[in-house]
Amino acid sequence: MDVDVIVKTFLRPLALARLLRSIARYYPDARVTVADDGGLRQGADVNSRRACAYIDAHPQIRLLELPFNSGVSAGRNHLIRSTHAPFVLLLDDDYRFTEATRVERLVGALESDPRVGVAAGLLLDVYKGRRYPRHVEGTLDTVGDSLVHRVGAWRDPERRICDYVSNFFVARREVFDSVAWRGGIGGEHYDFFMQLRATPWQVHHDASVTIDHHRTTPALPGYRAYRQACDEAQLAFLRRWGVRSLFMATLVCSRVSTAP
C-alpha cells in the first residue's frame, strides 16, 4: 500500500508511543509522520523521552516539531504538505491498532470506486478493558438555521456512503486540493466534512475495520485545559456556515430498501 500515515500529537507521549508500537506490529514497513506541537523533544518526563527514543530508533517514523499549541488544524495541514503518497491515513495519537485495523480494506474502497475520496473505519472506545463502538457516521443537513447530524443515516445505504465519519480514515491526496482543516479544536472536524460535502467526493464507511480508542490515557499537565478550550472554535464554525446551532440526531430505524 502506498499510504502515508499521519498523526497529530499534543502532550500525550504515552498514548503516542503506544500507537506507534501498534502500527509497527501490524504494518512494520508503514511510513509514519508525526506532527507535535507539545514540545515532545524538550520533555523531561519519562514518557516523552521514551517516545522520542522509539521514534529515533525507527527510521520509517518522522517527527515534525511545530510551535507550541499551534493547533490541530495547523498540524494536520502541515502533515499533508509534508507527505506525498497518493493515500493518507489520518490518526489521532490515542488510537491503537489491532488485528481488525485492516487499512488495506479502506484503501481498496478508494481504489475500487473513483467517486470515493474518503474511506473510514469505526472507533472502539476502550474503557475498563471493554470496547464500545463509537458510531458517528451519518449525514449533515441544514434545516432552517440549524445543522443536523443524523447518526446512522446514509446517502447511499448499499454502498455505505455518508457525509461524516470519525478521525480514522484514508483519503485520496487529491481531496486536499479542495478541503483543509480550519479553526481550533471543537469545530475543525465538522468544518472539514462540510467542506467535503460541497465537493463531488463521496465518503464511505466500513464498520468492519476498527481501531481502539484509548481516550482516557493520561496526558501531561496542561493538556486538559487546552483540549477543553473549544467554545470559540465551535462558535466560529457555526458563524462560518451560517447556522445558529448543531444538533446530533441518532437514527432509530430506517428502510434501506424500497422493496415491499
Cα–Cα dist 135/72, whole Å: 22
In a domain, 68, yes or no: yes
In a domain, 258, yes or no: no
Stretch 222-242: mean pLDDT, rounded? 92
pLDDT at residue number 252: 65
Which phi and psi angles does 97 have, rounded to 5°?
A: -70, 145
Query: Do residues 118 and 160 make contact, with C-beta atoms less than 8 angstroms apart?
Result: no
Whether 260 shows a pLDDT value over 60: the answer reads no
Which tens digits make up the pLDDT trace of 159-185?
Answer: 999 999 999 999 999 999 999 999 999
Which tens digits make up the pLDDT trace of 24-60?
Answer: 999 999 999 999 999 999 999 999 999 999 999 999 9
Nearest to 16 by CA among 123, 94, 126, 68: 94
CATH number of the domain bearing residue 128: 3.90.550.10
pLDDT at residue number 145: 94
Stretch 181-194: mean pLDDT, rounded? 96
pLDDT at residue number 257: 41
Indicate the helix (H) or strand (E) that contains 237. Answer: helix 231-240
In a domain, 255, yes or no: no
Which tens digits make up the pLDDT trace of 107-149?
Answer: 999 999 999 999 999 999 999 989 999 999 999 999 999 999 9
- Give the structural domain span for 77: 3-250
Which tens digits make up the pLDDT trace of 79-116?
Answer: 999 999 999 999 999 999 999 999 999 999 999 999 99
pLDDT at residue number 24: 98
Beta-bridge partner residues of 246: 147
pLDDT at residue number 258: 38
What's the structural domain count of the chain? Answer: 1
Query: Do residues 149 and 122 make contact, with C-beta atoms less than 8 angstroms apart?
Result: no
In a domain, 256, yes or no: no
In a domain, 227, yes or no: yes
E strand residue ranges, the chain: 3-9, 31-36, 61-65, 87-92, 95-96, 116-127, 130-134, 138-143, 146-151, 161-162, 169-172, 202-213, 245-250
In a domain, 260, yes or no: no
Q: What is the DSSP-derived secondary structure letter of residue 233? A: H
Reported confidence tier of residue 226, pLDDT bands at 50, 70, 90: confident
Whether 254 shows a pLDDT value over 90: the answer reads no
Q: What is the pTM of this model?
A: 0.94
In a domain, 16, yes or no: yes
List the grid coordinates of 231. Answer: 467554545
In a domain, 182, yes or no: yes
